[in-house]
Amino acid sequence: MASEASSAGRDGAVPSGALRLSAPMDGAGADALPGRQVLADSVYDVVKQQIMDLKLTPSKRLVIDQLARELGVSNTPLREALTRLELEGLVTRRSLQGFTVAPVPDLRDMDELFELRLMLEPGAARAASKNVSPEDLALLRSSVERMVELAGDDSDTGHYRRHRSLVSADAYFHDFVAEASGNKLLRRAVSGLHAHATIYRLYFKAGYAPEGGDTADEHATIVQAFAEHNPEQAARAMKEHLRRSQERLRRIYRLNLAEESSTRARSAARP
């Protein structure tokens, strides 16, 4: 039922090292289609990673020809990738100006995102509590255990591997719950928010890793409500989790603003 929840990698980033692609091979006809699709997916993953890791900086204008040369691909798969990223809100497109990397969301954007999540996801959890199977519970518990492991391993924090993995694990959990609700429109609405792409960019810009231990505990509470098939408790646990997540992000956002202000003040004070 919920096995089709999006993989952690899709919401986070592609593996490091996949920073340049080979030039596409010539080909035509039906036999060429699978290769073309793989190439388009690869370009999408690489460009998304560069946006999420701020290598392609917010509000940067994307010159198609130049970016295609840097990636070693033709313009066609790159345009396809940028169109997909536009749907996710990671790039914008204006007439006669082309594509631009979307700015990092501000505090108001984040609050509006959580307001919408609070309307949708407690209902998804309520419905999911009636549908989850023992196999679903095992997968959800495994997801919680994985997040606990990631929270306790800070060896890769400096390279943001743990950072990406924590946000991706959180995305997997929420996608799973939305799918387990059994409501296709609700699942589509939750997925369409691309909430974890926004969360990742905010955390990355601030230079802080997510607090995986707190998130894991809150996920465990939701899973326990599922195990007890208690719809109202599941909805309450999801609502509390989202509110706490929002407050954690607000706190980090304020800390980041304070640090930026302090840095500007020091720079201005220099002779």
pLDDT tens per residue across span 57-93 = 999 999 999 999 999 999 999 999 999 999 988 999 9
| pLDDT one-digit tens code per residue, 164-201 | 888 889 999 999 999 999 999 999 999 989 888 888 88
Q: Using H for helix, E for strand and C for coil, what is the string for the chain?
A: CCCCCCCHHHHCCCCCCCCCCCCCCCCCCHHHHHHHHHHHHHHHHHHHHHHHCCCCCCCCEECHHHHHHHHCCCHHHHHHHHHHHHHCCCEEEECCCEEEECCCCCHHHHHHHHHHHHHHHHHHHHHHHHHCCHHHHHHHHHHHHHHHHHHCCCCCHHHCHHHHHHHHHHHHHHHHHHHHCCCHHHHHHHHHCCHHHHHHHHHHHHCCCCCHHHHHHHHHHHHHHHHCCCHHHHHHHHHHHHHHHHHHHHHHHHHHHHHHHHHHHHHHHCC
Q: Which one of 16-20, 133-137, 208-212 scores highest in mean pLDDT?
A: 133-137
pLDDT digits (tens, 9 = 90+) for 32-55: 334 566 788 899 999 998 998 889
CATH code: domain 107-267 is 1.20.120.530
**Other Cβ atoms closer than 10 A to 228:** 11
Fold exhibited by the domain 19-101: Arc Repressor Mutant, subunit A (1.10.10)
Query: What gap in Å lies between CA 56 and CA 47, rounded to an integer?
Result: 8
Give the per-residue pLDDT at 36: 61
Q: Which residues contact 98 (CB under 8 A, 6 or more apart)?
A: 61, 62, 63, 64
Between 19 and 130, the higher pLDDT residue: 130
C-alpha distances out from residue 225 to 9, 135, 137, Å: 27, 15, 11
Fold matches, 19-101 and 107-267: no
For the chain, domain boundaries: 19-101, 107-267
The whole-number average pLDDT for the span 225-240 is: 98
What's the pLDDT at 97? 82
Whole-angstrom Cα distance, residue 222 to residue 141? 10
Q: How far apart are CA 264 and CA 138, in angstroms?
A: 49
Q: What pLDDT is attached to residue 255?
A: 75
